[in-house]
Amino acid sequence: MIQLNNYELLQKGSYISGQWCSVSDAFFDVIDPATGATIGTLPSATKALVQSAVDSAYSSLSSWRSKPVVEREHLLRAWYDLIVANKEDLARIITYEQGKPLAESRAEIDYGLAYIQWFSEQAKRLNGILLPTKNLAQRAEVIYEPVGVVAAITPWNFPFAMLARKAAPALACGCTVIAKPAESTPLTAIAISELARQAAIPAGVFNLVVSSEPQMVGEVFTGDERVKKISFTGSTDVGRWLYQNSAHSIKRLSLELGGNAPFIVFDDANLGLAVEGAMFAKFRNTGQTCIAANRFLVHEGIHDAFCQKLVERITSLKMGKGYDPSVDLGPMHSRHEREKVQSLVENALGGGALQISIKTPAEKNLGEGFFYPPKLIQNVSPEMAIFQREIFGPVVAVTKFSTEKQAVDLANKTPAGLAAYFYSENATRCARVIPQLEFGMIGVNDTRISNEMAPFGGVKASGVGREGSESGIMEYVEAKYLCHGLTL
Ligand code: SIN
């Protein structure tokens, strides 16, 4: 049992039409990745319950979208305030079900809160446009209306922030929402839904379905004409499936899918800065972020110096259970994730890559947790799976290059196009490389790229749409063009 101050946060089941529903004949367990122990057992939403969530969101739409925008803003602000008041409990819930260290869980709450604040205010700036006309007897304008019922499908790596980044813009501009969290991290979403209830967000406006049958839930969402938009963060395979299955009802989609970020270190880089940037981009959430640095492309002239400095820094990371405040690196999220990383490493070593030994301090008695010590691997070639796939774990995979062109070609040698990073102190080189990189987000001498004011999203197989920034709210509205005939 997770120790909390406010046990009301640990409701059981799905939240529909302002009610908690725990009726089901199937149940699923939530596991603490640090121990492998069960920390909760939840009723899995049935198909009928998921359909009733759509009914609920649809029947609440008309009154919610007709509310003055400031009323919606005040309700979102009340939700924000309750999340702040329960921040410590929420951070503990994230750490227990997701695995990340408490300091990172707190940072995730702040990150998600910033989206709620930003979008509650941004809805008031959803100005229409007065258009020029070709004819004086016409007045033309554009107004923005909410798309309607939104299904928000969120991943396990950021159980709060990704929910906030989708639900806040949708609710702020007048859409109603059905959230579906990852089956391994439903407790944070349950707590956030309970706070939405306490904030008096009207019944049916925000709904939650928790289920161990993601495909069934996806079928209900994609198959129902009343769901006008799906916003999904997760794997490219699932994103493709949602895209295909939404075709018949021509839904709007925002897809934030997998990445395979290059991290290029040119020979004119500030190595100290590059190492610090690498530590954040690689080890945040034990490497389990879509924008994690995946392929380290390092110029041959500074390769050894960079690797040595990075290994020294990695040596200071303490691995252990996230609720121990001295820990920097938590467990992998699941046994399955750990096995995937291990098999990429084994495949690379079998293909001629070289593992540099790193001695990191680890908590004693790591027991049955899904821990995976950090690794640095050199001589990685583009043919290896570890270069081609998202590692999603604490492994630095290094490939040497000798020319700028080679670095750019290697960086673009992936179907993914989410984030890329590069380090160079040469302004001309920076200006030359930026337009050549086929990615939606580029960190130039920096890796802390995510915040509510920035458009987060990718190109190519990394998805469509942007979250955050002014663009983020446009994903949840339709432009309506009005042409008025005037009698002069
Ligand atoms: C993700 O990994 O999908 C999100 C990372 C972020 O928002 O910084």
For residue 322, give every residue at least 6 positions away whose Cβ sits within 8 Å of its Cβ, in sequence order, or none.
34, 95, 99, 100, 101, 102, 104, 105, 330, 331
Distances in whole angstroms, Cα of residue 398 to Cα of each of 66, 273, 294, 348, 392: 54, 17, 9, 11, 15
Q: In the structure encoding, which two tokens stand for residue 4, read together?
A: 């909390």
- What was the pLDDT predicted at 15? 98
Model pLDDT, residue 161: 98
Measured torsion, CA atoms of residues 332, 259, 241, 204, in degrees rounded to the nearest 10: 70
With a pLDDT cut of 90, the percent of the chain lying above it is 97
- Cβ–ligand 1 contact at 291 (below 6 Å): yes
- In order of 396, 408, 468, the CA distances from 261 in angstroms are 12, 12, 20
pLDDT at 108: 98
Which tens digit of pLDDT belongs to each residue from 450-486?
Answer: 999 999 999 999 999 999 999 999 999 999 999 999 9
Say if 7-258+462-481 and 261-413+419-451 have the same CATH topology. Answer: no
* Beta pairing, strands 354-356 & 375-378: antiparallel
With a cut of 80, say whether residue 343 has pLDDT above it: yes
Q: Is the pLDDT of residue 440 over 80?
A: yes
pLDDT, averaged across the chain: 97
The 8-class DSSP code of residue 333 comes to S
| Residue 14 in this model has a pLDDT that exceeds 90 | yes
Kindly indicate whether the domain formed by 261-413+419-451 is annotated with CATH number 3.50.50.60: no
**Residue from 108, 118, 162 to probe ligand 1 pocket by mutation (most atoms less than 8 Å from CB):** 162
Asked if residue 278 has its Cβ within 6 Å of ligand 1, the reply is no
Whole-number Å distance between alpha carbons of 435 and 430: 9
For residue 52, the CA-to-ligand 1 centroid distance in Å is 30
On whether the pTM is more than 0.85, the answer is yes
Distance CA 9, CA 190 (A): 7
pLDDT tens-digit series, residues 40-50: 999 999 999 99
Q: What is the pLDDT of residues 284-337, one digit of tens each?
A: 999 999 999 999 999 999 999 999 999 999 999 999 999 999 999 999 999 999
- Whether the per-residue pLDDT at 360 is higher than 90: the answer is no
Q: What is the pLDDT of residues 362-386, one digit of tens each?
A: 777 888 999 999 999 999 999 999 9
Residue whose Cα lies nearest atom 6 of ligand 1: it is: 450
Domain 7-258+462-481's class? alpha beta
Q: What is the mean pLDDT of residues 22-51?
A: 96
Would you give the distance in Å from CA 475 to the centre of its chain?
16
Could you tell me the end-to-end alpha-carbon distance of the chain, in angstroms, rounded to an integer?
73
What percent of the chain has pLDDT above 70?
100
**What are residue 419's phi and psi, to 5 degrees?**
-120, 155
User: Which of 181, 166, 209 is closest to 57 using CA atoms?
Assistant: 209
Sequence spans of domains, the chain: 7-258+462-481, 261-413+419-451
Alpha helices in 351-487 (DSSP H): 385-388, 404-412, 427-433, 469-474
233 lines ligand 1 (CB under 6 A): yes
Encode pLDDT of 227-273 as tens digits.
999 999 999 999 999 999 999 999 999 999 999 999 999 999 999 99
Nearest CA to ligand 1 atom 8: 450
Q: Provide the annotated active-site residues.
A: 256, 290
The H or E element containing residue 401 is: strand 395-401
Confidence of residue 359 (pLDDT cuts 50, 70, 90): confident
- Would you state the structure tokens that stand for residue 322, as one six-digit string? 């996230």
Q: What is the mean pLDDT of residues 149-174?
A: 98
> Cα(73)–Cα(125) distance, rounded to whole angstroms?
12
Token digits of residue 130: 């007065």
